[in-house]
Structure 1
Amino acid sequence: MSADAGQYSAALARAVAHATSWLEQVPDRPVGPQGSADEWLQVFGGPLGDDPVAPAAVVDELDAARPGLMAINSGRFYGWVMGGVLPAALGADWLTSAWDQNTGLRYATPATAAIEQAAGAWLLDLLGLPASADVGFVTGATMANFTGLAAGRHAVLARAGWDVEADGLQGAPRARVLVGAERHDTIDLALRYLGLGRPQAVEADEQGRLRVDALAAALAAGDGPTLVCLQAGNLHSGAFDPLAEAIAVAHEHGAWVHVDGAFGLWAAATPSLRHLTAGVEGADSWATDAHKTLNVPYDCGIAIVRDPAALRGAMGVHASYLIADAAGDPLETVPELSRRARGVPVWAALRSLGRRGVAGLVEGLAARARDLAAGIGAVPGVEVLNDVVYTQVCLAFGDDERTRAVTARLIADGAAWMSGSRWRGRDVLRISVSNWSTDADDVARSVAAVARAAAG
């Protein structure tokens, strides 16, 4: 059966109607979802039917999930460092799905390959990173960290005379990895995927910043192939490692330096916050998420590597049926051979915002975090635990038991969503301001919700 555009029309029309209705409801609906996954399985599970169902009817059935959805694109959702979605990026994401391009080869998908290349160049310029660096569009920060560290593993073992792609890790010189004590767990996960094992933790200060003197001592205590992982934006405090000093010390010892900047790397795009990332351009690889601070749809992480040969040596694949381009192909910069053109929504977001818009977006997120800290900090019994330098706020309400109780009441209230966590030996209520649409009214309503929860 051949397809024609008319066969898609009814399903797409229903999708537009349901999506528009959802977006219209988001500002006023409770932020949290209703029901459990097991309860929703009763709605969508059971035996697969024997007969076909009309595409439009299938889309209508999916809309029934709406009450069970988290309103992640609400201006009052502050959980887990998840951004909302910009209108241009959403439109581009729909178009990307309709185009259905597997953007691995320049020859096969030249337009989307070019769009992604343009988006990568814009990103390097905005973030102040080397224009000659290679950019790969991956699923998220986990795979962006994996990709950057894979390039680092390739490079440091090659310097030691070992071809890890040809010979694997058995018998290889051991590559040690130094990380801050408060790195994100996805660093450990990426290292596990890479067969590098548990890293060596370096002491951090009271805001979670790696201590350069402790890094220098750890580097001096060993030798051989070495990778150092730094952090631009602590998950709890928003603090940034002293990047310039740490990179300099690491390079003195011949280490490859990777920066996990899942949400914090974007501080480099605004003059008022750029001091937080001072020196970041001196690293060897960087990881960030476009679906966090830039507010494009899931899934879209970004891996950036200074040395394209190291990245392509680690990620590249060649086969007779793949028509390679002499300039190199996108599939050489990411773990997947097949993938959607996930850089297209990044291009759309950047094109719609422009340089000033990106700066305004990042500055706005940080400003709302300061407003929330000030407003909630004025509620009796609340303690703001971190220096609010970027988009993160950590709060406590006395002892751990009371903090957990306030968190539970806040989530049950539904007006705002802030996730509980544990930081520096205490239970906390953690706020991450990541949505472009969060405004003064959202802040006021969120402060009021916390006040209600704290009053018990």
Structure 2
Amino acid sequence: MGDEFGEVLTRTARIAADWLGSLDQRPVGETATLAELRGRLGGPLPDGPADPVTVVEELVQAAEPGLVAIPSGRYFGFVIGGGLPAAVAADWLTTVWDQNAGLYACGPAASVAEEVAGEWLRELFGLPGGSSFAFVPGCQTAHLTCLAAARHHVLRRAGWNVEEQGLAGAPPMRIVVSARRHATIDRALRLLGFGTATLTVVPADDRGRMDVAALREVLRDGPPAVVCAQAGEVNTGAFDDLAAIADVTGPAGAWLHVDGAFGLWVLASPELRHLAAGAERADSWAFDAHKWLNVPYDSGVAFCAHPEPHRAAVSVTADYLVQGGAGEPRDAIDWTPGFSRRARGFPVYAALRQLGRQGVAELVERCCAHARAFAAGLAAVPGCELLGEVVINQVLFRFGDDATTERVLRRVVDSGEAWLSGTVAGGRRAIRLSVCNWRTGDEDVRRTLAAFQKSAAAES
């Protein structure tokens, strides 16, 4: 059995190294159609066993044409990062070690790695000492965790135990959101029993920043509230004025939650942290490690300035579980919605060890510099219209009308030189370019701009 593992893992390591080594040469997008992939990967369930090495090699042969080169330096879609070498290696070990990180008893080293990595992140972001945290699949689950804590806190102050009594008959509470919030906020609230019709929506400006004056009016009177602010709007990268929002929510007794999926990472940069000034005054924060920290998918983090409601909202006990004990070890099931769970702390720990404080800052600042270089280069492409200034790592632009914009984008993606996505801005089709990968360099910027030059020229 040991020999089987040695052979298949050695072969897999070679395949993985070849894949990563091919990124500069291979098309960034997939080269197979949906029907082709179904044909390659489909078929009846095998009747008998197969050699593990054969299974892996046949999987690679069938799947590779359908892979998107997300780790490439020329992948600019959906604010997706790559994978730092130490983080990728630690993620492999996470699979091999196969620790169930829900309980300290099932993986003591996994528990302590999360404990250390969580404290490092808290320190890196300058969040309040004593804040609780949870390693979760992504920002969606981080919102769910934070807003569950907020729901508990607000209703508990009103004399209602939502974990025991549910929401039926509960005292009224308001959920206040921005008109330009991310869709994951609505989904988390829906899962927590708050339908979209119950939300109070505050207007936002054309860059997606919440109207603080309107928020002040909303909070002037009424039942207790939870306010969801944003650090990094998904199209423009713009930041809500978190300090001004905290000035409003604090006196109103509202819980302030910050959606910082990628934008909150500016707190690690001396050059850029002013954009999120006031973030430390919030009550909870949600962000991703699989974006700017370049940890492999999936990896999100929830922080809460108030450990008691956090734990009360998501913890669980059972007679058969081994929880707590000497030295008060950290059991992740006290802080996450998950029960059995992957040891996500290992890759985060490894990424932070590889980069250090200065490395994280340099990574964030370098990506933002590349975004500015993209904007300058695109401004020189005939027919290209930049839609606002570059705030951090998001570049928003279009070409003429909607149809032209789509054609220019399609040609670039089909060329294989880069992959990025379309969006809607101001009711019109636009292109969103997100620089979030540690691999992206000057040559990747040059090649992508050349692809847009060529695609735009085809319109004339």
Give the one of 437, 440, 443 matched to 2:439: 437
Whether the aligned pair in 2 keeps the contact of 1:406 and 1:454 (CA below 8 Å) is yes
Q: How does 1:314-393 map to 2 (within 5 A)?
A: 314-325=313-324, 327=328, 328-393=330-395
| Distance of 2:444 and 2:147 partners within structure 1 | 38
2:206 counterpart residue number? 206
Instruction: State the shift of 1:39 in Å.
Output: 2.4
| Distance of 2:371 and 2:391 partners within structure 1 | 9
Instruction: State the shift of 1:131 in Å.
Output: 2.2
2:136 counterpart residue number? 138
1:293 counterpart residue number? 292
TM-score (norm 1): 0.97
Q: How does 1:86-235 map to 2 (within 5 A)?
A: 86-198=84-196, 199-220=199-220, 222-235=221-234
| Distance of 1:108 and 1:60 partners within structure 2 | 33
Return the letter of the residue paired with 2:323: A
Return the letter of the residue paired with 1:449: A
Return the letter of the residue paired with 1:411: V
Instruction: State the shift of 1:266 in Å.
Output: 0.4
| Distance of 1:165 and 1:153 partners within structure 2 | 10
2:396 counterpart residue number? 394
Return the letter of the residue paired with 1:226: A
Q: Name structure 2 gaps, 5 residues minimum.
A: none
Instruction: State the shift of 1:123 in Å.
Output: 0.1
Whether the aligned pair in 2 keeps the contact of 1:175 and 1:196 (CA below 8 Å) is no
Give the one of 10, 22, 25 matched to 2:22: 25
| Distance of 2:219 and 2:401 partners within structure 1 | 38
Return the letter of the residue paired with 2:276: T
1:258 counterpart residue number? 257
Instruction: State the shift of 1:384 in Å.
Output: 0.8
| Distance of 2:58 and 2:233 partners within structure 1 | 40
Whether the aligned pair in 2 keeps the contact of 1:77 and 1:417 (CA below 8 Å) is yes
TM-score (norm 2): 0.97
**CA offsets per residue over residues 64-95 of structure 1, 9 Å max, x none?**
11111000111111000100100000000000
Instruction: State the shift of 1:421 in Å.
Output: 0.6
Instruction: State the shift of 1:11 in Å.
Output: 1.4
Q: Name structure 1 gaps, 5 residues minimum.
A: none
**CA offsets per residue over residues 109-141 of structure 1, 9 Å max, x none?**
111100110000000000110121011000011
| Distance of 1:368 and 1:173 partners within structure 2 | 49
2:246 counterpart residue number? 247
| Distance of 1:154 and 1:255 partners within structure 2 | 13
**CA offsets per residue over residues 5-33 of structure 1, 9 Å max, x none?**
32311111121011111101111111100
Instruction: State the shift of 1:201 in Å.
Output: 1.6
Whether the aligned pair in 2 keeps the contact of 1:173 and 1:225 (CA below 8 Å) is no
| Distance of 1:231 and 1:37 partners within structure 2 | 36
1:275 counterpart residue number? 274
| Distance of 1:46 and 1:247 partners within structure 2 | 57
1:304 counterpart residue number? 303
Percent of aligned pairs sharing the same letter: 51
Whether the aligned pair in 2 keeps the contact of 1:103 and 1:339 (CA below 8 Å) is yes
3-state secondary structure, aligned to 1:355: helix
| Distance of 1:423 and 1:179 partners within structure 2 | 19
| Distance of 2:453 and 2:286 partners within structure 1 | 37
Q: How does 1:397-436 map to 2 (within 5 A)?
A: 397-436=399-438
Instruction: State the shift of 1:175 in Å.
Output: 2.3
1:78 counterpart residue number? 76
**CA offsets per residue over residues 200-228 of structure 1, 9 Å max, x none?**
221111211111101111222x4213110
Return the letter of the residue paired with 2:146: G
Instruction: State the shift of 1:232 in Å.
Output: 0.5
**CA offsets per residue over residues 295-340 of structure 1, 9 Å max, x none?**
0000100011111111110110000111111535211111110001
Number of equivalences: 452
